[in-house]
Structure 1
Amino acid sequence: MIQNGHWKYFFKSLIVLLFLVSFTSVMAQQDAQFTQYMYNGMYYNPAFAGKDGGFRFSALHRSQWANYSTSSGQGGAPTTQLLTAQGRLDSKNIGYGLTLVNDQIGASSNLEVNLQGSYHRKFNRATISFGASVGIFSSSLDYGELVVVNPEPNLPTAGKESQMNLNFSAGLLFDRGNYYIGLSSRHLNQPDFDFGDGSYANQLKNHSYLLFGYRFRPVGQLAIEPSFLIKSVSFNNFSYDVSVIATHANKISGGLAYRGEESISFILGYSILRDNSLKLGYAFDLVVSGASAKAPTSHELMLRYTLSDISRQVERVIQRTPRFRF
């Protein structure tokens, strides 16, 4: 049962943070966004890699602003795929992971592959984790799909160009059991992409994330986890996601989420296998702000699989012979 003091403290903190965020303008975020962020902490923060032990895999597909088309009649709705894999060396308290992100939006597409490493250290009932990642970020631009209001003379009108750069991230995570807080920063080196003989420059800005969640069981096998994610681009502007997820018997889950100045979301989850190792998740977003510039709905489908550590114990069987018993 959750303590009243802790519950009141959580909501006071949440109200203050949302109040501060609501007075900041929102800068266009270059990173992909996910409604089911609470299940994909490793994407935002490499300190999550291997935190829970076992081997874990996930696959997610997001179709944002379904059937969106530009004023010129072209498509361009963002679609994103996210693949993650993680494990842990328990004897060394070291976690490792791999994330792969394919993000398509209009004339541009981005492929991001990151190798992650983390270290987990227990202090009493808490775990402190440190993580870092290194990878590549590949950006492509299809000039034939590009609509430019004031085109530069050297900007091609057809063909496709791709560029690749190194990409670094780092993060911290504190997990007390009933609550957790993580702070991370992606694209620390802010890689540059310069297309069309310098006519079209695009720098990948540093993105920082603050993720906070609270876990409690009000009754029986019902678990509830409110959480919020604060996102910053170059520490100049902020946006946020907030959600509440209820799970019964680790089998079926449902909840609501809100993305600041954009959408409300409905999230459902169900464990398919008897041991709850395979989980299916679905999120539906409904745009409530700026609807005139977007299509009204987004969809997100996710699969998660957990392969727990298996320890085989050989039981000694009593065998009897005419003379010996062992």
Structure 2
Amino acid sequence: MLAATDSKLYAQQDAQFTQYMYNGLYYNPAYAGREDGYQFSALHRSQWLGYSTTSGQGGAPTTQLVTATGRIPGKSIGWGFSFVNDDIGPVTSQELNLSAAYHLKMRRGHLSLGVSGGFFSNTINFDEIDVVNPDPTIPSNGDETQMTANFGAGLMYEAPKYYISLSSRHVNEPTFEFGEDSFENQLVNHSYLMVGYKIKTFAQVTFDPSFLLKSEGFDNFSYDLSVIATHNDRISGGLSYRGEESVSVLFGYKLLRDRSLRIGYAFDIVVNGNEAKSPTSHEFMLTYNLPSVSKKIESIIQRTPRFRF
């Protein structure tokens, strides 16, 4: 259960993902149309599985993420779509964003610039709020939903062996006012720096270390550090550490002959703050890459008794 103090609500705002390296579009609209073809993904995360509040009403975060992205044929412009459903304690939020990105060839890599816009919806169930200082303007039961516009921007540079991504979400910092305009819940600006590197070996194994730095309101920082090993571009496994919170194990396997379908799983073990959390989290992910279809017209030589063309 989350507590309300001085008419302000404190809660985890942006969703948290262990498989962040496969969900770039969620953090940065510059990922839209980053690759040829079309990419689709679906993810479900159960954080702190089995956690319950003192009232026994649950409250552990659960998150669903769906994304789709592609590139306009013959253009350097990509498009993206993302939908997030995030449920944590008394607060449920839905976020819908459309992204557009421009990809520019630069030296041996590509520079991508992206923007996103959409809507953010917040719903509060007042039955699950434990108010420290009761306020008659705050309802004691029922629920309330509000929706507001939401914007983001980002840039990314990608070279054959590395990438750097910098982005900002909720740049307009919308505010929700619940109750009789007294229960404020501001969606503060979130900034992300993501860096990754690819190390190839002679044994058909590649190592992909990555780092994600997260800033909330530019005064609250956290980070994720991961290393993923992939064999023959099909089987992957790795480890991840979330600063002062958890250690994770990640697995992935690509199906089908063209490796277009991938199943991913992440298992988190909480190593800090166990008194307020359940020890494990689980994350399942499914991605599908649909290659662009190009028709090749071949000139076929046909022979007849009189003509050859």
TM-score (norm. length: structure 2): 0.94
Cα distance in 2 between the residues matched to 1:90 and 1:179:
26
Return 294-303 or 141-150, whichever deviates more.
Answer: 141-150
TM-align CA RMSD = 1.3
| Matched residue SS, 1:219 | coil
Cα distance in 2 between the residues matched to 1:54 and 1:299:
30
Aligned residues: 300
> 2:174 matched to 1:191?
yes
> 2:25 matched to 1:39?
no
8 Å Cα contact 1:59-1:82 kept in structure 2: yes
1:132-180: CA deviation from partner (whole Å, max 9, x where unpaired): 0010000001112222222211211221100011001000101122011
**Closer/same/farther in 2, CA of residues 29 and 232 from structure 1, 3 Å limit:** farther
> 2:268 matched to 1:285?
yes
Indicate the residue corresponding to 1:92 in structure 2: 75
> 2:256 matched to 1:273?
yes
8 Å Cα contact 1:53-1:90 kept in structure 2: no
| Matched residue SS, 1:47 | helix
Matches within 5 A, 1:124-143: 124-143=107-126
Structure 2: any 5+ residue segments left out of the alignment? 1-9
| Matched residue SS, 1:42 | helix
Matches within 5 A, 1:10-21: none
Matches within 5 A, 1:1-326: 29-326=12-309
| Matched residue SS, 1:321 | coil
8 Å Cα contact 1:242-1:259 kept in structure 2: yes
Cα distance in 2 between the residues matched to 1:124 and 1:199:
53
Indicate the residue corresponding to 1:6 in structure 2: none
Q: CA deviation at 1:314?
A: 3.2
Q: Which amino acid aligns with 1:264?
A: V
Cα distance in 1 between the residues matched to 2:117 and 2:225:
29
Cα distance in 2 between the residues matched to 1:29 and 1:143:
17
Return 193-202 or 229-238, whichever deviates more.
Answer: 193-202
Structure 1: any 5+ residue segments left out of the alignment? 1-26
Cα distance in 2 between the residues matched to 1:279 and 1:297:
23
Indicate the residue corresponding to 2:4 in structure 1: none
1:283-323: CA deviation from partner (whole Å, max 9, x where unpaired): 00000000111000000000000011111223333333222
Return 252-261 or 147-156, whichever deviates more.
Answer: 147-156
- What is the percentage of aligned positions where both structures have the same residue? 60
Cα distance in 1 between the residues matched to 2:289 and 2:183:
43
Q: Which amino acid aligns with 2:244?
A: E
Q: CA deviation at 1:90?
A: 4.6
1:232-268: CA deviation from partner (whole Å, max 9, x where unpaired): 0111121000000011111111000000010000000
Q: Which amino acid aligns with 1:160?
A: D
TM-score (norm. length: structure 1): 0.89
| Matched residue SS, 2:13 | coil
More helix by share: 1
Q: CA deviation at 1:29?
A: 4.5
Q: Which amino acid aligns with 2:271?
A: V
Cα distance in 2 between the residues matched to 1:123 and 1:189:
30
1:218-245: CA deviation from partner (whole Å, max 9, x where unpaired): 2242111000000001111210000000
Q: CA deviation at 1:92?
A: 2.3
